[in-house]
A and B are shown apart, each in its own frame.
Chain A
Amino acid sequence: AQSVTQPDIHITVSEGASLELRCNYSYGATPYLFWYVQSPGQGLQLLLKYFSGDTLVQGIKGFEAEFKRSQSSFNLRKPSVHWSDAAEYFCAVGAQQAGTALIFGKGTTLSVSS
């Protein structure tokens, strides 16, 4: 079955500390992988995407993610968290064919403490 697991429901990080959000997926074919961020009352904003090639991808707002095929993981990282990063983060996997659904994880809520 196709699925995305985000093991951490809620994470609290001190401002300036590093961040890693975990994402594991189960998918039959070679997937496209995405991370989205959602602030309260807003839609989802695409942070970064992996299609092929270099397994370390850079995104907006200083985020990066690393695709590890052997571990079926696509973890999101940021070296230094800012208070404005507090939001909900969703990992998603999709087929390489547009017009198909993305499969989302349940999300990880990030809180940033001062």
Chain B
Amino acid sequence: EADIYQTPRYLVIGTGKKITLECSQTMGHDKMYWYQQDPGMELHLIHYSYGVNSTEKGDLSSESTVSRIRTEHFPLTLESARPSHTSQYLCASSGERNEQYFGPGTRLTVT
């Protein structure tokens, strides 16, 4: 079944640690996205990719980085986590039209 997977689902980590949030999809989509979601707020795009070796920053400034070495895989990395990074991170993908399908999210808490 075509789907989008994110791991871990929940992560509590100390300040200064390096973390990687995993996202993979079996949708066959070229385009992938990372959004940040805080309670009561809109989702904001932080990174996107048109395909392999393509990555772009989104509207919301983020200290994270992404890579796209394989079509199905779009990991997000924080080199040094801070409490301000505490949030929910949602990965999505889309086909030729802009309907975006989301993974279950990773809820990150930095202590």
Interface of chain B residues 1 through 17 with chain A (CB within 8 A): 4, 6
Complex interface: chain B residues within 8 A of A51 (CB): 97
Name the prevailing secondary structure of the A interface residues: loop
Closest to A34 in B: B99
B66 interface residue per 8 A CB criterion: no
Cβ-neighbour of A102 out of B40, B95, B100 (below 8 A): B100
CB of A106 within 8 A of CB of B33, answer no
Complex interface: chain A residues within 8 A of B50 (CB): 99
Least CB distance, A109 to chain B, in whole angstroms: 9
Q: How far is the CA of A56 from the CA of B1 in the complex (A)?
A: 29
**Interface residues on chain A, size class:** 20 to 34
Known contacts A98-B31, A101-B48, A101-B58; is A46 also within 8 Å of B42 by CB?
no
CB of A106 within 8 A of CB of B90, answer no
Name B residues whose Cβ lies closer than 8 Å to a Cβ of A: 4, 6, 31, 33, 40-43, 45, 48, 50, 58-59, 90, 92, 94-105, 107
Complex interface: chain B residues within 8 A of A97 (CB): 98
Q: How far is the CA of A32 from the CA of B43 in the complex (A)?
A: 17
Q: How far is the CA of A101 from the CA of B98 in the complex (A)?
A: 9
Q: How far is the CA of A79 from the CA of B103 in the complex (A)?
A: 29
Cβ-neighbour of B90 out of A44, A49, A94 (below 8 A): A44
Closest to B48 in A: A99
CB of A42 within 8 A of CB of B98, answer no
Complex interface: chain B residues within 8 A of A36 (CB): 102
Residue with the greatest number of chain A CB neighbours at <10 A, chosen from B42, B95, B102: B42
Q: In the complex, given contacts A32-B99, A98-B97, A100-B98, what are 5 additional A-B residue pairs having Cβ atoms less than 8 angstroms apart? A: A36-B102, A43-B102, A99-B94, A102-B100, A107-B42
Closest to A49 in B: B99
Closest to B100 in A: A102
Question: 10 closest pairs, A vs B, by CB?
Answer: A101-B45, A43-B102, A44-B102, A104-B42, A43-B104, A94-B98, A104-B43, A98-B98, A99-B31, A43-B105
Least CB distance, B102 to chain A, in whole angstroms: 4
Complex interface: chain A residues within 8 A of B40 (CB): 9, 106-107
